[in-house]
């Protein structure tokens, strides 16, 4: 009750501040601050989930190969283990660097919208700039190693946009940089999120296959244990229960709705940047960012629970 009252009061204060800026004709970067803070917080959680998923993908695939071969009593060698990966090291580098740059872009938006923007923004711009250097390097590596599909184009377009924004910041054009950072980011950010979304969907299929195979192994183990002693049956029952829990839990884990909500919230940020910045425009932005934030909380809890089961 008390916290609800505080939230309402905070919201009213925030709306009053925005109204003040708008009525006085000063559409300041501060008008973006609360939605950008929320957008940045939710994006950070989501980007971390995607990073974890990417990093664990090859480990999961390798372990699945070991399980499958041991079940078939088949031979294993280093080449087979290396080949079991679902994502090449060059592909992985581009994705991790793109996530890093996306996160730094969010930090820059936040810095640009804050009251002491010039100092904070310059620092954030430098940080974004160095992440772009790494991203461009990894894109070059990927292009020289294999056909790269759409990821290098999406990441490359995002990298160009980020470079332009950092230039405005370093020239101290804060309002231009903020509007530019949001406005021109529409296509590259959206394209990058869609690609990450596709990756997450593909990795989710891989995980589903691995967990499904473990269910079958658990059923086989239970069946075999029925001819053995009580201890063996007890052990197989507990393995079967764990496999089924893991399966149920995995059904809840999907970062895709979170990424869709991120795209919606980002598109509302762009619409707001382009709008005449009336209170109604802001309320639509606040609603989209709230929906994104709620969605990410659900995703983060499901990922946490699934990780606990797997471990």
Partner 1 sequence: MSLSRIELIELLGGVVVELDILRSQFKLGDPVRSDLDEARSELSFYTDKMIRHHISEGSKSFIELTASLLAVNNQLRFSIRDTSKIASNLQLIVQIIGIVDEIVKLIPIAALFRSHLAK
Footprint of partner 1 (CB under 8 A):
61, 68, 79, 82-83, 85-88, 146-150, 198, 201-203, 205-206, 208-209, 212-213, 215-216, 219-220, 223-224
Q: How far is the CB of 145 from partner 1 (least distance, A)?
A: 8
Q: How many CA atoms lie within 13 A of 293 on its CB side?
A: 14
**101/93 Cα distance (integer angstroms):** 12
For residue 172, what is the DSSP state? Answer: T
Q: How far is the CB of 229 from partner 1 (least distance, A)?
A: 20
Query: Other C-beta atoms within 10 Å of 10: how many?
Result: 11
Closest to partner 1 by CB, 198 or 239: 198
Q: How far is the CB of 149 from partner 1 (least distance, A)?
A: 3
| Two structure tokens written together for 69 | 């071969």
Q: How far is the CB of 1 from partner 1 (least distance, A)?
A: 45
Closest to partner 1 by CB, 82 or 228: 82
Closest to partner 1 by CB, 184 or 254: 254
Closest to partner 1 by CB, 150 or 297: 150
Q: How far is the CB of 205 from partner 1 (least distance, A)?
A: 3
Please tell me whether residue 266 adopts helix, strand or coil conformation: helix
Closest CA to 218 of 210, 278, 206: 210
Closest to partner 1 by CB, 125 or 193: 193
Cβ atoms 179, 148 nearer than 8 A: no
**204/199 Cα distance (integer angstroms):** 8
φ and ψ at residue 187, rounded to 5 degrees: -70, -50
């Amino acid at each position: 009750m008390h916290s609800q009252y505080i939230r309402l009061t905070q919201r009213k204060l925030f709306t009053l501040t925005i109204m003040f800026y708008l009525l006085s004709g000063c559409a300041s970067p501060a008008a973006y601050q609360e939605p950008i803070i929320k957008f940045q917080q939710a994006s950070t959680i989501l980007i971390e989930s995607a990073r974890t998923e990417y990093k664990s993908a090859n480990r999961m695939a390798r372990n699945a190969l070991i399980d499958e071969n041991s079940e078939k009593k088949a031979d294993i060698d280093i080449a087979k283990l290396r080949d079991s990966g679902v994502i090449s090291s060059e592909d992985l580098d581009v994705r991790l660097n793109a996530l890093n740059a996306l996160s730094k872009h969010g930090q820059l938006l936040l810095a640009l919208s804050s009251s002491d923007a010039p100092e904070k923004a310059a620092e954030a711009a430098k940080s974004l700039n160095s992440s772009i250097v790494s991203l461009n390097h990894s894109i070059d590596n990927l292009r020289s190693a294999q056909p790269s599909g759409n990821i290098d184009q999406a990441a490359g377009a995002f990298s160009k946009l980020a470079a332009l924004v950092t230039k405005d910041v370093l020239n101290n054009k804060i309002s231009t940089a903020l509007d530019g950072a949001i406005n021109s980011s529409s296509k590259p950010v959206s394209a990058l999120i869609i690609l990450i979304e596709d990756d997450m969907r593909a990795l989710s299929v891989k995980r589903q296959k691995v967990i499904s195979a473990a269910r079958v192994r658990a059923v086989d183990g239970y069946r075999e244990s029925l001819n053995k002693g009580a201890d063996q049956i007890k052990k197989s029952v507990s393995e079967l229960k764990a496999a089924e829990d893991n399966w149920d839990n995995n059904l809840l884990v999907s970062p895709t709705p979170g990424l869709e909500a991120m795209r919606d919230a980002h598109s509302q940020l762009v619409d707001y940047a382009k709008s005449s910045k009336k209170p109604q425009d802001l309320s639509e932005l606040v609603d989209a960012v709230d929906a994104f934030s709620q969605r990410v909380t659900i995703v983060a809890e499901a990922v946490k629970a699934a990780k606990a089961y797997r471990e």
